[in-house]
Structure 1
Amino acid sequence: MTTSTTPRSAARLGRALDAPGSSERLQAVLAAGTMPEPGFVDILVARCGVEPDFYVRDMLTWALTRHPADVTVPLLLDEVRAGSTQARSQALHTLSKVGDPRGWRAVTTAVLQDPDDDVARAAWRTAVVLVPDGAEAGLAATLATQLGRGGRDVRLSLSRAMAGLGDAAEAVLAEAATRGGVEARIHAVATRRLLGDPDEAFDASVFEARRIVALMDAPEPDAPGPDAPPVDQPPDGGARADR
């Protein structure tokens, strides 16, 4: 249960989060989530943007989910709009864990196409969690603009997000498989395969997708000319080779 915050407890949390040891910071965030107080939220959100340790950042997200969404969501939306790269990525991730529908306001086309891979990947995951009913097809169309982007991990994140949209992504992926650049088409085909068989490994899907796209792009064999002999007869009109 959230209680009122005393200036002393908020100051103590701020000092603890500046400790040089990650284990000390982890314990401080754990305590803040175990005994949440309204005055902790600003401090926790601010720390998300500068905390270097992955496990502490993950605990910061957990601690924020322990506080009322009415307090956390507005601050997280502000971070997505104006924070540093790390702050934006972590705020998006936290919004997905909070799960409040108001978090959908952070999922703009600009953030889904953000040039920073960490921000974009967090946005893709968050979008699939928060997408309202009826908006799935539009989200899939926006995500499809990112097909072929980045390296393996970035593409895997996008494929998982699109697969999470289920049937809403199928038509978009089918069209993307036949149009645009080669890498985007390969990515679309690989994602369609994952949609049909979630147990297939991503690398295997990409390997098979490359083969499929190569076959799609292969030139058709030249048609035989009007003077060419029928394919089931030898060139001399049927003379046997043993004569």
Structure 2
Amino acid sequence: MLIGEVARRSGVSARMLRHYDALGLVRPTGRTVGGYREYSAEDVRRIFHVESLRSLGLSLHQVAQALGDPAFTPDALVGDLIRWTRERLDRERELLERLHAIDASAPADWQDVLRVVALMQGLDSPHAARRQQAVLARQDDVPVPAELLAKAVLAEPDPVVSGALRWALARAGDAGVTALAAALHDDDPAVRLRAVRALTDLAEVPQAAAALEDALADPDPAVRRPAALTLGRRGTTAAVPVLVGMVVDGVNDVDAADVLGALSEDPACADRVLAALTGELAAPGADSATRIRLTQALVELPGPGGREVLDRLSRDGDPAVARVAAAFAKLLEERP
């Protein structure tokens, strides 16, 4: 077959076939009387082999090696191709995210585009001070894609920069809530904690509050606790078990006790809080320090329920608990 027919049947342009010939990759085995290239069936088969390997991402040099060296093994090269392809996909995915972020900012002109790009470059800096400056130096009249800020806050390890990002994200409204809520399902507890902390600044948004309620069931107590404090302050009774657990564990127990006291202002919740605290007081294996913290939490509860429990605890078999309970019971009696 002449080169034109081969090009038509194979889909490889005549120009590329001549290039293959020049490289020695696919050389036609024959020539016509007029000197034109003439391809045999075996030549055409080799063309298809070349195209098949090129479709896997091999360079022409690698294709020549694969087809010309019987000792050339594919395993290492295929492994390299997988790695290179993953790296390329990561770069393209990052580019796509950047383009979406620019599109979300609804740029009016190229200056707006350049400002968003400058923010992206600043957030990608290895220096925390540069990242913080990129957040704080933005102009109020230039919209910043909330999704971009959400992604940055989820990856930010520096607490100062994270605070600046959360501030900027809160000012951007509720557009970043979806990304933060999705991050609550991340395998990394550090990412989930960052998401919760950002969501606490957006707790007025119904979707953010709902996401924080989901975080109450997180397997990591460090993620559950800030969600419980925020929700409890907003009157969400679903936070009670986690808040009581904070008192038991001695982590932010004073804050947790304050929130439990505020929740107990609602009679519908007061009995639940009192029952949870007294249940932990009677739990088998509760040590003296834990029971003292629970006793202190009872002081924050309004109404007679907490006082009655304190009176009973003033006669507790643990002398340390009894002394603390008696002191608090007396203090409550002296209150107006």
Give the TM-score range, shorter chain: 0.5 to 0.7
Report the CA distance between 1:13 and its aligned residue. 1.6
Conserved 8 A contact 1:25-1:56: yes
Of 51, 59, 72 in structure 1, the residue corresponding to residue 156 of structure 2 is 51
Cα displacement string for residues 92-113 of structure 1 (whole angstroms, at most 9, x for unaligned residues): 222222221221211336x224
> Is there any run of 5+ residues in structure 2 with no aligned partner, and where?
1-103, 303-308, 320-336
Report the CA distance between 1:114 and its aligned residue. 3.0
Aligned to 2:84: none
Aligned to 1:162: 260
Name the SS of the counterpart of 1:60 in structure 2.
helix
CA RMSD of aligned residues (A): 3.4
Cα displacement string for residues 17-36 of structure 1 (whole angstroms, at most 9, x for unaligned residues): 12233221111111347455
Change (3 A) 1:113 1:78: closer
Structure 1 position 67 matched with structure 2 position 169: no
Report the CA distance between 1:177 and its aligned residue. 3.7
Listed as ranges, the matches of 1:1-243 within 5 Å are 4-5=106-107, 6-32=112-138, 34-39=140-145, 41-69=146-174, 71-82=175-186, 84-98=188-202, 99-108=204-213, 111-131=215-235, 136-140=236-240, 142-143=241-242, 146=245, 148-150=247-249, 152-168=250-266, 169-180=269-280, 181=283, 182=286, 185-195=291-301, 213=313, 215-217=315-317
Conserved 8 A contact 2:124-2:131: yes
- Cα distance in 2 between the residues matched to 1:86 and 1:21: 20
Conserved 8 A contact 1:49-1:83: no
Residue identity in the other structure for 2:315: L
Change (3 A) 1:160 1:78: farther
Change (3 A) 1:90 1:163: farther
Relative contact order higher in (CA < 8 Å, ≥ 6 apart)? 1
- Cα distance in 1 between the residues matched to 2:154 and 2:188: 7
- Cα distance in 1 between the residues matched to 2:237 and 2:252: 21
Report the CA distance between 1:148 and its aligned residue. 4.7
- Cα distance in 1 between the residues matched to 2:219 and 2:312: 29
Q: TM-score, normalised by structure 1?
A: 0.65
Higher CA-based Rg: 2
Report the CA distance between 1:14 and its aligned residue. 2.0
Normalized per residue, the structure richer in helix is: 2
Q: TM-score, normalised by structure 2?
A: 0.49
Report the CA distance between 1:79 and its aligned residue. 1.8
Identity %: 21
Conserved 8 A contact 2:149-2:176: no
How many equivalent pairs are there?
A: 197
